[in-house]
């Protein structure tokens, strides 16, 4: 067989996808496994959004659209970030693309071979491989449980070098649910200005915030011209399958990313874009309702996990994950071994904390985007298995 590109050796497959494949295999073999491993709302996309996409299909919106997105959607996204986040953007700054693709295009646009990209640690599983893909170097910035898993300006400042090119923020965070304070974001933006860095701000969980204030980096003074804001509808509107997200970027960055878009995905699915317009401009009650349901589930999980001896679970301020620490991980041989043991012995699947970076050692990520009944049963099983 001919060789593969050397870059493929630096990229590992997604741990969350690996666990879900394992769960699927075990279920096929007849095992009763509760999965708390995926970052996917268990709700169905709101009815009016589904209807808008169906109407678009029936109206014949089945052709190529403009590469950066249909004008109505770019307008709606710009209005959303202006009104909600105070970002001084216009429709021309909006590039509609799946959220994961937006992260990838932003990194490819700004980071070169040997450049350093500062990332939270623990962080979403795809940031590190995406940075590796660009031949750049990921630099983990510890976000400790003691600080509520925040990314602090002090921790960022300590890791800036002459090779630093960008700092990536993700608040609320996957996997910890940690939320950066407005002062954190302000401090990091000031560092970016002083050291001439790009700020890549992944705000996909901004509408799943239970406490605190969401601060968009791009809304701060002098920040817009160096900040690429990334967001999407997967999490807040239960639209994971639609692949609907976007980047909001200053014009020079928009142009670079749009080149990548034009030579890769071309544009997002035509009728799905019409559904996205309905999501952003139509009734917002479903977002509020889902958030309140997530909040109740979060409280259930935090209370239930903290009641298990050896488990300590901080209360996350956002997203739909808890990131508890397990004293039992050491005896099990690490969090990966503990995760496997809990799948085998308790029939509960989480994701090992180490999959999200060195800072996740000893933790598991458990998603509470599952029914209350599933969560109660998972807590019961975890309590029995860990006792």
Ligand X SMILES: Cc1ncc(COP(=O)(O)O)c(C=O)c1O
Residues 144 and 120: beta-carbon distance below 8 Å? no
Q: Is 87 or 346 the residue whose CB approaches ligand X more closely?
A: 87
3-state secondary structure of 347: coil
Q: Which residues of this protein are in contact with ligand X, per CB under 6 A?
A: 39, 98-100, 103, 124, 170, 174, 202, 204, 232, 234, 240, 245
C-alpha distance from residue 115 to each of 11, 135, 230, 343 (Å): 17, 8, 21, 39
Distance of CA 328 to the CA centre of its chain: 28
For residue 240, the 8-state DSSP code is G
3-state secondary structure of 70: coil
Q: Collect all residues with Cβ–Cβ distance below 8 Å to 303 and sequence separation of at least 6.
A: none
The CB-of-207 to ligand X minimum distance in angstroms stands at: 13
Residues 138 and 114: beta-carbon distance below 8 Å? no
Residues 130 and 89: beta-carbon distance below 8 Å? no
The CB-of-361 to ligand X minimum distance in angstroms stands at: 20
The CB-of-221 to ligand X minimum distance in angstroms stands at: 26
Q: Is 98 or 138 the residue whose CB approaches ligand X more closely?
A: 98
Q: Is 100 or 207 the residue whose CB approaches ligand X more closely?
A: 100
Q: Is 169 or 386 the residue whose CB approaches ligand X more closely?
A: 169
Q: Collect all residues with Cβ–Cβ distance below 8 Å to 222 and sequence separation of at least 6.
A: 189, 193
Q: Is 124 or 271 the residue whose CB approaches ligand X more closely?
A: 124
The CB-of-374 to ligand X minimum distance in angstroms stands at: 19
Q: What is the dihedral of CA 277, 280, 284, 290, to 10 degrees?
A: 100
3-state secondary structure of 195: coil
The CB-of-381 to ligand X minimum distance in angstroms stands at: 25
Place of tokens 């959004």: 49
Rounded distance between C-alpha atoms, residue 204 and residue 77, angstroms: 13
Q: Is 239 or 311 the residue whose CB approaches ligand X more closely?
A: 239
The CB-of-37 to ligand X minimum distance in angstroms stands at: 12
Q: Is 100 or 267 the residue whose CB approaches ligand X more closely?
A: 100
Q: Is 311 or 364 the residue whose CB approaches ligand X more closely?
A: 364
Distance of CA 251 to the CA centre of its chain: 24
Max CA separation in the chain (angstroms)? 61
Residues 344 and 378: beta-carbon distance below 8 Å? no
Rounded distance between C-alpha atoms, residue 100 and residue 246, angstroms: 9
The CB-of-346 to ligand X minimum distance in angstroms stands at: 24
Rounded distance between C-alpha atoms, residue 46 and residue 44, angstroms: 6
Q: Is 103 or 197 the residue whose CB approaches ligand X more closely?
A: 103
The CB-of-179 to ligand X minimum distance in angstroms stands at: 13
The CB-of-32 to ligand X minimum distance in angstroms stands at: 26
């Amino acid at each position: 067989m001919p060789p593969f590109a050397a870059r493929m050796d630096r990229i590992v497959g997604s741990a969350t996808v690996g666990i879900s494949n394992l769960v699927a295999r075990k279920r096929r073999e007849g095992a009763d496994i509760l999965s708390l491993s995926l970052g996917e709302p268990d709700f169905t996309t709101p009815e009016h959004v589904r209807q808008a996409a169906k109407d678009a299909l029936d109206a014949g919106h089945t052709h190529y659209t403009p590469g950066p997105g249909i004008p109505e959607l770019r307008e709606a996204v710009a209005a959303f970030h202006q009104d909600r986040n105070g970002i001084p953007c216009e429709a021309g700054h909006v590039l509609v693309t799946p959220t994961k693709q937006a992260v990838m295009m932003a990194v490819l646009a700004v980071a070169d071979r040997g450049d350093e990209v500062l990332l939270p640690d623990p962080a979403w599983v795809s940031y590190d491989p995406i940075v590796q893909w660009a031949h750049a170097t990921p630099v983990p910035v510890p976000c400790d449980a003691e600080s509520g898993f925040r990314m602090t300006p002090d921790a960022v400042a300590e890791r800036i070098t002459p090779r630093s090119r960008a700092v990536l923020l993700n608040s609320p965070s996957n996997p910890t649910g940690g939320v950066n304070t407005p002062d954190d974001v302000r401090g990091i933006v000031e560092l970016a200005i002083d050291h001439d860095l790009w700020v890549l701000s992944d705000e996909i969980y901004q509408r799943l915030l239970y406490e605190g204030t969401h601060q968009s980096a791009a809304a701060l003074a002098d920040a817009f011209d160096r900040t690429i804001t990334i967001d999407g509808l997967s999490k807040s509107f239960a639209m994971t399958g639609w692949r609907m997200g976007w980047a909001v970027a200053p014009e020079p960055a928009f142009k670079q990313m749009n080149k990548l878009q034009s030579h890769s995905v071309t544009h997002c699915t035509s009728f799905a874009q019409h559904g996205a317009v309905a999501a952003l401009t139509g009734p917002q009650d479903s977002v509020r309702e889902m958030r309140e349901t997530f909040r109740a589930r979060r409280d259930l999980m935090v209370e239930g996990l903290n009641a298990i001896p050896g488990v300590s679970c901080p209360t996350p301020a956002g997203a739909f994950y808890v990131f508890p620490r397990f004293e039992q991980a050491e005896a099990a041989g690490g969090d990966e071994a503990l995760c496997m043991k809990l799948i085998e012995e308790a029939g509960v699947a989480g994701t090992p904390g180490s999959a999200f970076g060195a800072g996740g050692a000893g933790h598991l990520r458990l998603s509470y985007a599952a029914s209350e009944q599933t969560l109660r049963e998972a807590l019961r099983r975890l309590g029995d298995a860990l006792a």
